[in-house]
Structure 1
């Protein structure tokens, strides 16, 4: 995936979130999502949260990209060992944060995040985009055993699209 594709994915996610929020009423947003324990509104926030995570992951991947593989592997194993606390924080954190970044604020947050990420991505050198880190694959289905900085930039849209299919209300992605 190249830079333009990643940035196009960011734009599409923003438009889809705008459309989802415009089409969903209180009943739909408070209803349980399909396949998660979150409500649709909490799940929508979690979809935005994927982009928030990337802003914090990028410096980490760049740092570990300069370290020897054994340190990368040990760190990933340590993170995988902490799957239970991660799952708890991921679930309850998204529930709590959805109260702050609710239906009235999450689209604006996503636009700011994707604008920042797109600007950052455009400034990255090819060498920087190629830096890689071993990832805790138990944490997320879109974490691969080794991810480059470019992979991390692409990750949140994969995460967004996956969770969009778990919303329990019908919507027209084109508005």
Structure 2
């Protein structure tokens, strides 16, 4: 894993997120995004969620990696079976967060989360980066059947870049 490129991607996403929120007008943020049911502000919060869930994803990978292989595959199947409730919670959470959380709070939350991910990545050793688990592939287009911790560190920026294209900002 090229840690330097992951760090650079985190910084690029953080700077872009700040710029998008800082430069957009209130009207632009209220405008419907392209290809989602969210407005631009809600989609920006959803993008932020991709970074916020990393702590949980990393912890889950470490726990499941210790279990027998069948347990991890069973867990992924169970999560895939729960895709519809997950999608509903994901939609409502992003709608509520993007509607209620002030812009400045989203920027601060992004800055703190990316800083924490930088620190955490710097503490990882090669053994911990190689650990992983099966993932629910129906939850996100960037989840694969098996993902290592190194793969997970790439996820929030992949998620960011994908959804960035759906924003309908000037």
Q: TM-score range by the shorter chain?
A: over 0.9
TM score, norm. by length of structure 1: 0.94
Residue in 2 that maps onto 1:126: 126
User: How many pairs were matched up?
Assistant: 170
| SS of residue matched to 2:53 | helix
Residue in 1 that maps onto 2:54: 54
Ranges of 4+ aligned residues in structure 1 off by more than 6 Å: none
Residue in 1 that maps onto 2:140: 140
8 Å CA contact retained: 2:32, 2:40? yes
Q: Deviations over 1:134-164 (max 9, x none)?
A: 0000000000110001111110010011000
Unaligned runs of 5+ in 1: 171-175
The structural deviation recorded for 1:6 is 1.0
For 1:154 and 1:53, how far apart are their aligned partners in 2? 13
User: How do residues 21-40 of structure 1 correspond to structure 2 at under 5 angstroms?
Assistant: 21-40=21-40
For 1:10 and 1:104, how far apart are their aligned partners in 2? 19
Residue in 1 that maps onto 2:15: 15
For 2:49 and 2:125, how far apart are their aligned partners in 1? 26
8 Å CA contact retained: 2:41, 2:99? no
TM score, norm. by length of structure 2: 0.97
